[in-house]
Amino acid sequence: MKIAGTAALPFPPERAYDLMQDPVLLAKAIPGCEALEKTGDNEYSLKMKMVLASLSGAFDGKVRLTEPERPHSFRMVVEGSGKIGFMKGDGVLRLTPKGDGGTEVAYDGEAQIGGTMAAVGNRMIDMTARMLIKRFFEKLSVE
Amino acid sequence: MIANAFDYTAPQSLDEALTLIGNGAKPLSGGMSLIPMMKLRLASPEHLVDLGRLKELSYIREQDGELHIGAAITYYELESSTLLLGKCPLIAETATHIGDIQVRNMGTLGGSVAHADPAADYPATLQALEAKIVLRSATGARTLSTKDFFLDTFTTALEPGEIVAEIIVPIEPGLTGTSYQKFRQPASGFAMVGIAARIRQQAGTLSLIRIGVTGLSGSSYRATNVEAALEGKQPTEENIRAASALVGDGVDASADLHASADYRQHLATIYTAKAIRAALSRSA
Amino acid sequence: MATTVTRIEKLVGKRLRRKEDPRLITGTATYVEDIKRPGMQHAVIVRSPHGAANIKGIDTTKAAALPGVSAIFTGKDITHVGSVVCGADLPGLRKPVHHILAQDRVYFVGHPVAVVVASDRYIAADAADLVEVDYDVTQAVTDPEKALAPGAPAVHPEWPDNTAFLYHQTGGDIDKAFADADVIIKQRITSQRLVPNAMETRGVVAEWLQADRALTLFTSTQIPHLARTILAGQLGIDENRFRLIAPEVGGGFGSKLNVYAEEALMGFITMKINKPVKWIESRRENFQVTIQGRGHVDYFELAAKRDGTMLGLRLKLIQDLGAYHQLLTPAIPTLSVLMMPGLYNFRNIDADVVGVFTNCVPTDAYRGAGRPEATHGIERMVDLLAAELNMDPAAIRFKNFVQPDQFPFPTATGLNYDSGDYGATLQKAMDMIGYDDLRKQQAAARAAGRLMGIGISTYGELCAFGPSPATPAGGWESATVRIEPTGKVTVHTGTSPHGQGQETSFAQIAADELGVPMDDIIVLHGDTAIIPYGIGTFGSRNTAVGGPALYYALQDIKEKVKKFGKMLLDAEEVTFENGVCRDPKTGKEITIQTIAGAAYRAMKLPPDTDPGLVATKFWEPSNFAFPFGAHIIVSEVDRDTGEIAIKRYVAVDDIGNQLNPLLVDGQLHGGAAQGLGQALWEQAVYDDNGQLITGEFMDYCMPRARMMPWIESSHTVTPSPVNPLGVKGVGEAGTIGSTPAMVNSVIDALSTLGVRHIDMPLTNEKIWNLVNGAKA
Ligand SMILES: Cc1cc2nc3c(=O)[nH]c(=O)nc-3n(C[C@H](O)[C@H](O)[C@H](O)COP(=O)(O)OP(=O)(O)OC[C@H]3O[C@@H](n4cnc5c(N)ncnc54)[C@H](O)[C@@H]3O)c2cc1C
């Protein structure tokens, strides 16, 4: 499934870029993130708990940040798996300065879902992905 | 398709229920959304508290010029209530669009509101009615507008320990017509888009226009730009179309197997006009 | 001894309600799920969440530690159990070994990896969650055309081209046909994957009696005897110590014309743990691991003369087989080839079939099995030709039909159509719907900017499987009739009805032949310990093959009844009618009930006659039977939303003689609903990783009652000469006829916008895009 969209951050690109490379802030911004630990260069292990409506599930996974082009773009890969299924998001984030001193972040990538989650509620996946992304940027923008 | 083990309590009173829920138990109403998730093990609550059997949450009554509906009222009770059919027909009509009769016998208004499924029907109707949602917990109660209650996809203002206890809807003022129009997702029957319209028509002029939208995006909303575009206008086909075209402005429309974002946007426009026309035909 | 005989009304041909319904609608029928055995354990299967992966390891320690868990088995435990059987054979067919539990690799989402057995189903499910499987995920391929492309991921690493077989069939002179043609129509036409969705999912209860070395296995199947023979082989046990019972079976539609890994697996488990074991398929498993239907990509080329005469048809057929062969997987597309000429008179065909492995669940027989695909193809091609030549789609059909005086009609594909009058059914359907007037209405609607369509499909079907040489496991059927000492009648049939209603229609046959009341007759089936042997229920064969077997068994028993009658009446000759033997000379009579008692008491026996009243017949048909019909659908497309409204649906079907028109209607209506499901709504959609994303009813659109049009149904009757009842078969006809009528109707509606073809399902958005695109 394709995931693409834009979000606005109220900081100039350099700062926006750095925020998104900062594991402490990422841990705060990734919805449901319970732990994010460095495991290698630009690679982190991730524990998250997703609670959405009555659905709830714990995921173990990793986050990788690659292809750094500060402050223009980088690639982010998030993977997780748990009892209710597994997911993988892989996309490029592009940062462009906006007139108001803020940054527009354009993301473009692919999401994969498997396991029980995949077979139920195709209709929910797109909406949920959008909401999680929205929350991520909302959290970042108050940093 | 077997749930994890869980405890189940059918409390004797609302207070007992609220205490248990305050301690972390999960409310169960009609179970039409929760039980399927549990059977797939996508949800694994440890303790369910059955609100569906509480008389204290099961009523429809008129009070101080408004209609008060207990959270445990089922869709079937809504669609067959003479009180509602007479004084707030939109809320009764909406029930007839939901699922099949088995689902309507079980599913509840409170459950639907609390669940906040982005494709559920009632959120649109409650938006258009400017309903008030009464939340209760073991420690108190508060009343929210739909706007403050429905926050996002499956996300509401409910805090842990709180339940939806009551929905308050207005008694329709005279000269007001209402309608709910829905384009069904063919497999699930949920709303691909659902539009609730509520309009007053007096001497050929429109006022008090309220348009509630569901299905189009991650959350229900009121299409205030459509409302504004019709306010004080005459109910001509041209005006209706022009206003309806605004329904999805600035909305990040959902896309899935069944409909692309563009198609959903388009359907929302068509169905807004449909709902407006139907509401007008019912306004005296 | 004289009794007065009241003339009994003949029951064959009457609209009788089903004898089986009371137990079904009162919830007292016994399905596999209702069977409980002492000490019974419950199995839950751990399945692959990946479309393609290598298994690096399986850790069952946590699961095994859960109290109540009695056993856990993985691939290494079952290597001695025979693999899942494919009964079809084609030259050069590649058959992957299909172990009942995965070995070191999984090939589709749902592939069984381990099985957990516990004292109740809840514990088993909890334990299954605790089994940890370490997968190394590899690239999957789910689209058959992509699977054929060079460099595609290999489903089975040993066959990198993903090709299971190539099959070629030709008849007549195809090159000449195309050389002689004035027009050649080419079209790619798909038939999407469908989920059969029987109301009852599959399920198995297996019980091993160690002391007797005997296995009893209850399973929800359409083929109890064949399943027993196959499973006995897989499990290495004696077939005569193996009782297989198909209790009440809640629908199959071909999905239970199979022998599945889980059946052998439960047999293996009960023998291993020496306790009965039950497995019930969940609805989610049913979507993922029970066979699916269709899965075609077809490239058609039709050669014709400018006057509309069809000359020849070429087909390149790509069959999505899925990851393995189930019982008949590779044979299904060959049925499409057989039916590709449809009802038309041309005798030149050429078909190239390629069977493709994909990382999906196997395809196999689903209501119609190969014939709906062919019919949809040819019926679309005829409409495309009509459009090209600016001819009326009815007129072009009349021009090309095989004519009544041409029967038996040998086709270019080697079939021999038994009987028919194709023009008569189409004409009748046109009269019913008022065709000429409709076309005028359509012209007016078009002038007013409305999108109204009229779609015709004239289908033929090869069914009543079939002569044994043309059927993998034999095509005959058996019946036993036992008149009990009290005169009550027990019928055994080798067919295995599961919704078709043979408990009623076979009782009607027996009632008429023996002159006993319906209520005195019971029809038994589905138990290998009771029924001598049988082939089972599929391919619209119950009535057309099982019916004649019963008819001939009844003739045999009537002869014997008459012998006893003659002896008891002391007559030279007797007649037997309405349950009474009569001496025409003396007028003396004796009832079948009295005769039955005498036959068992055997105080005296007629010459060369044994005691008792039992007859068994194994009947071999000489040919298939070929029902046919014409369906016409009037539809209107909503320009604003792309919604399709079915305004009228007329169906005229010729299924030969009808034993019970009520059952016929039921089969045709249900069939039409399934056919409309394919045309408009249903599709099994896989993503590139092998996930079935329409894996539940929230996303897989099964037709609901409220979506169904009123069907105006009528018939013509052309008896089949193949069997003494003159019946043809009706189980699949509605499904085959409805789909192309629906699609042709919508394409006709959109033809003014320049639309030639649309692939199924005709979703609202697809239609809206076409209308919208045409506007832009
Ligand atoms: C076949 C089918 C078709 C359907 N079609 C439609 C449709 O067309 N349109 C539509 O709108 N809906 C549809 N639904 C969903 C149905 O309306 C559900 O009943 C509704 O969404 C939830 O109501 P419920 O009473 O069943 O809640 P439950 O399933 O019992 O609960 C849902 C969630 O809300 C929580 N909850 C329940 N009550 C309360 C409360 N009072 N306070 C706080 N939290 C609470 C639960 O803990 C749970 O998380 C369908 C459902 C099915 C099974």
Q: Which domains does chain B have, with CATH numbers?
A: 7-50 (3.30.43.10), 55-170 (3.30.465.10), 178-281 (3.30.390.50)
Which of C113, C150, C152 shows the shortest CA–CA distance to C135? C113
Measure CB to CB from residue A126 to each of B37, B154, B256 and give the nearest one.
B256
C716-771 confidence digits (pLDDT tens): 999 999 999 999 999 999 999 999 999 999 999 999 999 999 999 999 999 999 99
A68-108 pLDDT, tens per residue? 999 999 999 999 998 888 888 999 999 999 988 999 999 99
Per the model's pLDDT, the better-predicted residue between A84 and C524 turns out to be C524
Q: What average pLDDT does range B106-131 have in this prediction?
A: 97
pLDDT of res. C389:
98
The highest-level CATH class for domain C32-138+201-249+256-289 is alpha beta
At CA C357, angle to CA C351 and CA C362, rounded to 5?
A: 100
Our separate counts of H helices and E strands in chain A read 4, 7
pTM for the full model? 0.95
A84, closest residue in chain C (CA to CA):
C129
Q: Give the torsion sign (CA, B20, B22, B23, B25).
A: positive
State residue C2's pLDDT score. 45
Tell me if A112 sits within 8 A of A88, measured CB to CB. yes
Protein residues whose CB sits closer than 6 Å to any atom of ligand 1 = A 53-54; B 26-34, 51, 71, 98-99, 103, 107-108, 110-112, 114-115, 117, 120-122, 158, 163-164, 189-190
- Domains of chain A in start order, with CATH, are 2-141 (3.30.530.20)
Give the mutation target among B1, B8, B29, B185 for probing the ligand 1 site: most ligand atoms within 8 A of CB: B29
Q: Which of C623, C654, C659 is nearest to C734 (CA)?
A: C654
Q: How many CB atoms lie within 10 A of CB C608?
A: 6
Looking at residue C149, its pLDDT comes to: 97
pLDDT for A121: 64
User: CA C546, CA C554: separation in Å to the nearest integer?
Assistant: 12
At residue C6, the pLDDT reads 55
Predicted confidence at residue C7, as pLDDT, reads 53
User: How confident is residue C477, by pLDDT bands cut at 50, 70 and 90?
Assistant: very high
Tell me, what's the pLDDT at C1? 44
How many alpha carbons lie under 13 Å from residue C254 in its C-beta half-sphere?
28
CA–centroid distance, residue C707 to ligand 1 (Å):
24
Question: What percent of chain B is predicted at pLDDT more than 70?
Answer: 100
User: Token digits for B68?
Assistant: 């008060």
pLDDT above 60 (res A128): yes
State the Cα angle at C622 between C619 and C625, rounded to 5°.
Answer: 100
For residue range C269-328, what is the model confidence (pLDDT) as tens digits? Answer: 999 999 999 999 999 999 999 999 999 999 999 999 999 999 999 999 999 999 999 999
- For ligand 1, atom 1, name the residue with the nearest CA: B99
Coil, helix or strand at residue B156? strand
Given an 8 Å threshold on Cβ–Cβ distance, is C699 in contact with B183?
no
Q: Rounded to whole angstroms, how far apart are CA atoms C278 and C300? A: 47
Residue C8, pLDDT score: 67
Q: Give the pLDDT of residue C774.
A: 60
Tokens 């649309």 belong to which residue? Answer: C758
> Whole-angstrom Cα distance, residue C236 to residue C240?
12
Task: Say whether the peptide bond before residue C532 is cis (omega within 30 degrees of 0).
Answer: no
The answer to whether the CB of C66 falls within 8 A of the CB of C130 is: yes
Assigned fold of C366-462+624-775: Aldehyde Oxidoreductase; domain 4 (3.30.365)
Q: Could you count the other beta carbons within 10 Å of the beta carbon of residue C602?
A: 12
Radius of gyration of chain A (CA): 15
pLDDT of residue C775: 52
**C776 has a pLDDT exceeding 50:** no
Distance in angstroms (rounded) separating the CA atoms of residues C329 and C320: 10
Rounded to an integer, the average pLDDT of C200-213 is 97
**Phi/psi of residue B17, nearest 5 degrees:** -60, -45
At C361, list the tokens: 């669940």
pLDDT for position B105: 97
CATH fold of the domain at C21-28+476-619: Aldehyde Oxidoreductase; domain 4 (3.30.365)
φ, ψ dihedrals at C130, nearest 5°: -90, -10
Checking if the pLDDT of C544 tops 70, the result is yes
Q: CB contacts < 8 Å between A and C, how many?
A: 39
Give the dihedral sign, CA C4/C9/C12/C17: negative
What does the CA dihedral A30, A33, A38, A44 come to, rounded to 10 degrees? -60
How many helices (H) does chain C have, and how many strands (E)? 19, 28
Measured between its terminal Cα atoms, the distance across chain A in Å is 30
DSSP letter assigned to residue C192: -
Each residue of A15-26: pLDDT tens digit? Answer: 999 999 998 898
CATH 3.90.1170.50 intervals, chain C: 32-138+201-249+256-289
Rounded to the nearest 5°, which phi and psi values hold at C151?
Answer: 85, 0
Q: What pLDDT, on the 0 to 100 scale, is given for residue A129? A: 83
**Mean pLDDT throughout C391-398?**
98
Residue of chain A with shortest Cα separation from B218: A127
Give me the phi and psi of C452, to 5 degrees please: -105, 140
- Write out chain B residues lying below 8 Å of A130, CB-based: 153, 218, 252, 254
Whether residue B124 is predicted with pLDDT greater than 60 in this model: the reply is yes
* Side-by-side strand order, sheet with C477-483: C521-524, C489-493, C477-483, C614-619
Where does chain C hold its CATH 3.30.365.10 domain(s)?
A: 21-28+476-619, 366-462+624-775
Give percent of chain C above pLDDT 70.
99
Percent of chain B at pLDDT exceeding 90: 93
- Candidate from A10-14, A115-119, B122-126, C70-74 with smallest mean pLDDT: A115-119
Q: What is the pLDDT of residues C414-467, one digit of tens each?
A: 999 999 999 999 999 999 999 999 999 999 999 999 999 999 999 999 999 989
pLDDT digits 0-9 by tens, C18-30: 999 999 999 999 9
Q: Is the pLDDT at C338 greater than 50, yes or no?
A: yes
